[in-house]
Amino acid sequence: MRSFLKTKTAIALALSVTAGSAVADGHGGVEVLHWWTSGGEAAALNVLKDDLEAQGIAWTDMPVAGGGGEQAMTVLRARVTAGNAPTAVQGLGFDIIDWANQGALANLNDVAAAEGWDDVIPAALQQFAKVDGEWVSAPVNVHSTNWVWANKSVLDANGIAVPETWEDFAAALETLSAAGVTPIAHGGQPWQDATVFDAVAMSALGPDGYRSAFIDLDPEALGSDAMKEAFDRMAVIRANVDDNFSGRDWNLATAMVINGEAGFQMMGDWAKGEFLNAGEVPGEDFLCFRFPGTQDQVTFNADQFMMFDQGGNVSAEQAALATAILSPSFQSAFNVVKGSVPARTDVSDADFDACGKQGMADLAAAAESGNLFGSVAHGHANEASVKNAIYDVVTAHFNGEFDSETAVDELVTAVEIAQ
Ligand code: BGC
C-alpha cells in the first residue's frame, strides 16, 4: 500500500511538473526523467546538467526516486500514455528494448555514425542500445552489482581481513555480530534484496549456473541444489541485518557503513558515489571488493538515456545530449563521481580512484573471459515480467515467508509463469 501511494504521488508530481514546464515538448531544452536522487547521484547528474547548460541547452529535471527505476518506469508509462513523453529518460537493459519495440524511441543512427559509437561502445552495451540495427539510446556508464563496501576502521578494529570466500565472509559477519556492530547495512526493498541476490547467486551457482538459471531460464538450474545454497546464503545475510532494515533507502544503508554503524553493505558501485560525496577515500576510510566467490565475474547494468520520439526526427537538443553523454571527457568526469566505469572502451583510467580502476580492469577481464553477465536485479538478464517474478520470490524468502526449499520451488514456477 505504501509503495502504491508513493507511486501515485510520483505520478501526480510528474504530471504537475510537466504542465508547468516550458520545455516539455523538447523545443529549446531537454526534460530528463531519471532516478538519481541520492547525494552522490545528484553530484554526478550535475556534471551532465552543467555540460548541457554550457551549450545553452536548458534542463528540466524530472527526478523519480527509487533504485532500479521501477517507480520511474511507472511515471514514464503514465507520461507516454498521456501523449507527453519526456525528451530523455534513464533506462536499463530490457526496458530499453521494450520501448524501442513499441516504436517510442528516436533513431540516433546519425549521431552514432558521426561519433563512431560502433567502434568504442562494447558489445555487451550495444545489445541494449541498438535494436534491429538502429541506435535507440545513449549509454552513460557501466555499473556492477557484485561489490561489497566496508568501513575500514570497523574491520581493522575487529581484526577482519578482506574475505576471500563465502566462509570467510560468514565468519566476519559472526565476529562483527559478537562485537555488537551491525554486520550488514541493508535496505529491505525488493530491488535491494535482488541486488544482493545477484552476487549471492553468482557465488553459489558459479558463472555457468548463473547463465543457465538467469539468462537461459533453464528450470533445472533454477531448481538446483546450488540455488538452494544461494537461498541459504541469503538467509545468513538476513540474520545479519539490523531490526530497522525494512523499507530503508539504499543510500541510508551506505551512510550506516560510512558512520561506522555497520561493517558491510552489498550494493552496486553507485554506493561509491555516497562515500566520495561524504569526503571518504577508498583504501583509507572504506574498502571495495568483489563479493567473495565472485572475484572473476561481473554482474553488470548500464544506465542509458533513451531519447523519446517527439514526433519526427531526433531533435537538435536530443542529439546534443547524446553527443555530450558519449564524449570521452564526459565519460571520465561523470563516472569518476558516479562510481560507475565508462561506457566506452577507449577512456583512460588515470582520473579514477582505486575502486574505479579495479572496476575498469574487472570489466575488461570479464568481457574477455566470458564472465560478464547481465544483472538480474537491474534488468539486464530478463524482461520486466521475469525480473519482477524473481524479485517477488527473493523478497518473500528474505522476509521469512518461504524457507530455502520452498523458495527454489516458487522460483521455478514463478519464472515459468512470467515468460
Ligand atoms: C542505476 C544506478 C543508480 C541505482 C540506485 C540503478 O538501477 O543503474 O545508476 O544509482 O539504481 O538508484
Any residues with Cβ below 6 Å from ligand 1, and which? 35, 41, 67-69, 92, 143, 270, 301, 303, 378
Using alpha carbons only, what angle is made at residue 131 by residues 215 and 106, rounded to the nearest 5 degrees?
A: 135
Confidence of residue 15 (pLDDT cuts 50, 70, 90): very low
Sequence-distant (6+) residues with CB within 8 A of 267 are 145, 147, 149, 192, 195, 250, 253, 254
Percent of the chain with pLDDT over 90: 92
Q: Whose CA is nearest to atom 8 of ligand 1?
A: 303
65: amino acid identity, one letter:
A
Whole-number Å distance, alpha carbon 146 to ligand 1 midpoint, is: 14
Q: Which atom of ligand 1 is nearest to the CA of 37?
A: 12
123-129 mean pLDDT: 97
pLDDT value of residue 26: 41
116-124 mean pLDDT: 97
Q: Whose CA is nearest to atom 10 of ligand 1?
A: 270
C-alpha 113/C-alpha 322 separation (Å) is: 12
Q: Which atom of ligand 1 is nearest to the CA of 303?
A: 8
Bridge partners (DSSP) listed for residue 32: 61, 88
267-277 mean pLDDT: 98
Residue 306: pLDDT over 90 = yes
Q: Which atom of ligand 1 is nearest to the CA of 301?
A: 8
Confidence of residue 400 (pLDDT cuts 50, 70, 90): very high
DSSP 26: S
Q: Whose CA is nearest to atom 5 of ligand 1?
A: 67
Residue 22: pLDDT over 50 = no
78-88 mean pLDDT: 96
Percent of the chain with pLDDT over 70: 94
pLDDT by residue (tens digit) across 168-178?
A: 999 999 999 99
Q: Which atom of ligand 1 is nearest to the CA of 143?
A: 8
Give the residue from 322, 293, 289, 323 showing the smallest Cα distance to 307. 322
Confidence of residue 5 (pLDDT cuts 50, 70, 90): very low
Is 276:339 a contact under the CB 8 Å cutoff? yes
pLDDT by residue (tens digit) across 359-398?
A: 999 999 999 999 999 999 999 999 999 999 999 999 999 9
Q: Which atom of ligand 1 is nearest to the CA of 41?
A: 10
DSSP 69: G
Sequence-distant (6+) residues with CB within 8 A of 42 are 36
Residue 13: pLDDT over 50 = no
Which CA distances in Å does 29 have to 1, 94, 315? 36, 27, 10
Predicted model pTM: 0.93
pLDDT value of residue 192: 98
pLDDT value of residue 21: 33
Residue 3: pLDDT over 70 = no
Whole-number Å distance, alpha carbon 36 to ligand 1 midpoint, is: 7
Worst-scoring range by mean pLDDT, 43-47, 67-71, 76-80, 282-286? 67-71
Looking at every residue in the chain, the average pLDDT score rounds to: 93
404: amino acid identity, one letter:
S
Whole-number Å distance, alpha carbon 179 to ligand 1 midpoint, is: 32
pLDDT value of residue 312: 81
pLDDT value of residue 311: 86
